[in-house]
Structure 1
Amino acid sequence: MEFVGAEPVQLTALDQLIVRALAANGRDSWATIAQVVGSSPSTVQRRYARLHDMGAIHVVGAVDASATGLGIATMVRIQCGSAATASVVATLSRRPEVRFVSTLTGSADCVAEFVVPRLADLERLLQELLADPSIRTEAVPVLRTFTVPFDAFPGALEGAGEIGWKAATEYTGNAVAPNLEAIEGVVPARTHLNSLERAVVEILIPDGRTPLIDVARAISRSEATTRRVIDELLFSGRLRIGPLLAPHLLSIETELMLWISVSPDQLGAAARQLAQHSAVHYAAAAAGRYNLIGQVFLADFADLYDFTTHVLGALPGVREVDLTIQMTTHKRMWTPIVDSRFVPISRSSSA
C-alpha cells in the first residue's frame, strides 16, 4: 500500500470530476459515474482505488446528529498542556462517541467533537477520559448547523469545472443543500431515525459505498426494502454520502477552528453569512460563551489576515473572536487519520 506522504499526490482533472460525482451521489455505480465524468468504469474505479489505498480519500455517511436523533453534537475545547496532548488525543480518538479530534495552537491544545444521547453523558465521559484535574475543558453544544457535508469543496476543486450530467433530476443522490436565504439554518427533517433506519445509517457511516447486498444481509431485509430505506434517508437529507478528502489534495495549507461570540439577535444573520463563504467548511450555532463556531480551509497561511479582517470583520453582531489553528487532525467524521491518511474503521465501532 502506498502512503499519502510517500510521494507527492495531486488530483488529475479526471480525479476532480470523480470526487465531484461522489459528492453528489456517493453510492452511484462506477458505470454511472464513468458516464457522468466521460470515462470508462474501469478507469474511474482504478483512479478511486489508487487514492483510497493511499488513504487520501474515503467515502462515508454523514448525518446531522440532533436532527436525526442520534444524539447531541458537542465541541469540547481542551487545555491539557503540550506534554499531555498526545496522550489525550490518542484516548479521545479511540472512543466511538468522538467524531472529530484535532490538536490546536492558540487558546486550546486540542478539540474533540462528541456525539452523545444527553449532555449528562458527556459529563460522565469527560470525567472518565480526562480525569487529570489539571486538564480544563469547555463544552460547546451545537444547536443548529448552517452547512451540509459534501456540498462544496474549497480549494483546488473550485476551478475544476462543472460535471456534465444530463439534468439534476436524472442524477439523484444527496439532497440539495437548503437555501440559507430562505430558512434559518440547515435542519433536515426533524424526524428521528427508526430502528431500521438507524441500523442502515450505522452501516453506512464508516463506509458509504457498502454494497446493497451486504447492507440488506446485515439488517435482514430484502435488497428492495433496503434500497427504499437508503433512498428515503438520502432524499430527506437525513443522510448524506460522499468523500472525505485529504486537505492537501485541495491545496489547503491552513485549517482553522473559529470560536465566535455574537449578539443573540444577530446570530442567525452572522451564521448564514459565514456559512456562505467559500472557505468555510463548517458553521454552526452553539450554546455557551461562543455561540457561533466554524471550520475554515485556507490555501495559504497568508490568507488568514484577509479572512480575519474582511470576512470575520464583516459579520454582524460579533463581540469576540478566537481563532485556533488546527495542527494535526486525528479523526474526521468518525474516520481515524494516521500519518495523514484515512484508516477506515469497522462497522461495529462507528456509532
Structure 2
Amino acid sequence: MAGTSMRESIAIQSDDVRIVRALQVAPRASFASMAVALGLTEGTVRRRYRRLHADGVIRVVGVVNPGALGQSRWLVRLRCRPGSAAAIAGALAKRDDVNWVALGAAGSEVTCATQSRDQAQREELLGRRLPRTAAVLDINAFAMLRQFMGGRGHYWAALQGTLTPQEEAVLGGDVPPFTESPAVADAPADLTAEDEKVLDVLTADGRASLVDLAAAADSTPGRVSRRLRVLLLQGVVHIDVEIAPAALGYHARANLWLRVHPAEVKKAGRALAREPEIAFAAAISGPYNIHAVAHCRNLDELFEFTSDRIGGLPGLQSMEVSPVLRHVKQAGTLLSGDRLVGPTSPRAT
C-alpha cells in the first residue's frame, strides 16, 4: 500500500464525511444512534464505516493524555544526512514513547513528539541514543509548556458545519470539550491494573464494546462504563477519530514555528486554536515559543493562510513554515502512504 495515493482508490462521498463528523461528536455512539441522527439506515452507516476503516481513511482509538499521568512531552527536530531521514523516522515510529513522526525539508529533517514516563526514559532517547546516531547531524528539543489545541477529544474544526446543530444534538456525545491546559498535570492520575487493561483495548479500537472491555479487565460492563466515564472526564484518555487528511482533500500539511512576543503568547495561541486549519497548537520552550500544525488543501492555500491570517497574529515577530513531506505516525497510528494502517503496539499513544 505504501506510495499509493488515496485519490486513486478511494471515493469519499458526502455521507462518508457526515459519518466522520458524527464520530468526532460521539466516537463511541452505536451505529443505530448514528443512523437516527443522520437519517440513514443502520446498515448503511455500518457498511460505510467499515469501508472507511478498511481503506485507511479513519481509525477510532483511545489515546492516553501523557500530561495527565505526569509525563513530560517534547517536540524534537532532527537534521539528518541525505538519504538517512526515512530510516530514522521509521525507527522512531516504532517506539512507544514517540507518538507522532513527520518527514520534512525535502527528506532531510525529522520532526517527532516524545512523551516519557520518567526522566531516565527521556534521557535514554534524547541524551544518548539519538546523539550517538551517526546519521543525525543536529538535534533540537523543545518542552511543551501549554496546549492550546489538539488531543483530548477536540474536533478538527475543518469539519464543522458538516452536520446541523440538531443532528449533533441528537448524537449527544460524552466527550468533554477541549480546554486549554498545562502540558503536565499538577496532580497526576494513578492508573489501576484494570485501567491499564481497558486502555490497551481502546488503543486498538476506541469503539470496543463494554462487554469486550470488561472481559479484558476481568470486570463487569457496568463497572468499566463508570470507570471509563471518570477517565474521560479527568482527561486521562480521549477517544480520538484519526483521519487521513488527504482523503478529505487536505494535501498540504505544515509545521509552523512561531516566535511571538512573550506578553502575547497566550493571546496568539488562543487565536490559533480558533483557526479551522489548525489541528494542534502549543506553547513550547526554545527560540520559537509556539508550535502549530496546519492542514490546507494545497500549497497556495497554505501560503494564503500563513501570510494573511497567521501573519496577523498579535505579537508575531517571525515564523518558519516547514511543509511536511510525509507523515510516518500520528497519535500512535502508523501511516503507509496516505493511509492509516494501525497502532504500533498495545499502548501506542
Contact 1:11 1:249 in 2 (8 A): yes
Alignment partner, residue 343 of structure 2: 345
- Residues 1:33 and 1:190: Cα distance change in structure 2 (over 3 Å): farther
Note the C-alpha offset of 1:238: 3.4
Alignment partner, residue 189 of structure 2: 192
Alignment partner, residue 41 of structure 1: 42
What is the DSSP-based 3-state SS (H/G/I as helix, E as strand, rest coil) of the residue aligned with 2:254?
strand
Alignment partner, residue 224 of structure 1: 222
Contact 2:328 2:336 in 1 (8 A): yes
State the superposition RMSD in angstroms.
Answer: 2.8
Alignment partner, residue 160 of structure 1: 162
Note the C-alpha offset of 1:221: 1.5
Alignment partner, residue 14 of structure 1: 15
What is the DSSP-based 3-state SS (H/G/I as helix, E as strand, rest coil) of the residue aligned with 2:104?
strand
Aligned residues: 344
| TM-score normalised by structure 1 residue count | 0.88
Note the C-alpha offset of 1:255: 0.3
Note the C-alpha offset of 1:53: 0.8
AA aligned opposite 1:139: A
What is the DSSP-based 3-state SS (H/G/I as helix, E as strand, rest coil) of the residue aligned with 2:204?
coil
Contact 1:60 1:242 in 2 (8 A): yes
Note the C-alpha offset of 1:56: 1.4
Contact 1:146 1:185 in 2 (8 A): no
For 1:106 and 1:75, locate their aligned partners in 2 and report how far apart those are by CA, in whole Å: 20
* Cα distance per residue 1:262-309 (max 9 Å; x no partner): 222211111111111111110011122222101001112112222222
For 1:18 and 1:342, locate their aligned partners in 2 and report how far apart those are by CA, in whole Å: 17
| TM-score normalised by structure 2 residue count | 0.89
What is the DSSP-based 3-state SS (H/G/I as helix, E as strand, rest coil) of the residue aligned with 1:266?
helix
Note the C-alpha offset of 1:30: 1.0
For 1:288 and 1:107, locate their aligned partners in 2 and report how far apart those are by CA, in whole Å: 24
Alignment partner, residue 240 of structure 1: 238
Contact 2:69 2:236 in 1 (8 A): no
Q: Percent identity?
A: 26
Note the C-alpha offset of 1:177: 3.0
For 1:98 and 1:166, locate their aligned partners in 2 and report how far apart those are by CA, in whole Å: 34
For 2:290 and 2:327, locate their aligned partners in 1 and report how far apart those are by CA, in whole Å: 21
- Residues 1:152 and 1:172: Cα distance change in structure 2 (over 3 Å): closer
- Residues 1:70 and 1:96: Cα distance change in structure 2 (over 3 Å): farther
What is the DSSP-based 3-state SS (H/G/I as helix, E as strand, rest coil) of the residue aligned with 2:40?
coil
* Cα distance per residue 1:16-53 (max 9 Å; x no partner): 22111111111111111111111111110100101111
Contact 2:83 2:107 in 1 (8 A): no
For 1:139 and 1:185, locate their aligned partners in 2 and report how far apart those are by CA, in whole Å: 18
Matches for 1:243-322 after TM superposition, within 5 Å: 243-322=241-320
* Cα distance per residue 1:209-250 (max 9 Å; x no partner): 122222112222111110111122223443221321111122
For 1:276 and 1:188, locate their aligned partners in 2 and report how far apart those are by CA, in whole Å: 24
Contact 1:256 1:295 in 2 (8 A): yes
Following TM superposition, the consecutive aligned residue runs of length 4 or more in structure 1 with deviations greater than 6 angstroms are 184-189
Alignment partner, residue 85 of structure 1: 85
Note the C-alpha offset of 1:339: 2.6
AA aligned opposite 1:91: A
For 1:139 and 1:159, locate their aligned partners in 2 and report how far apart those are by CA, in whole Å: 37
AA aligned opposite 1:321: M
Contact 1:100 1:334 in 2 (8 A): yes
- Residues 1:166 and 1:9: Cα distance change in structure 2 (over 3 Å): closer
AA aligned opposite 2:19: I
Note the C-alpha offset of 1:92: 0.6
For 1:83 and 1:186, locate their aligned partners in 2 and report how far apart those are by CA, in whole Å: 34
Contact 1:331 1:337 in 2 (8 A): yes
- Residues 1:159 and 1:171: Cα distance change in structure 2 (over 3 Å): closer
Note the C-alpha offset of 1:162: 1.9
Note the C-alpha offset of 1:104: 0.7
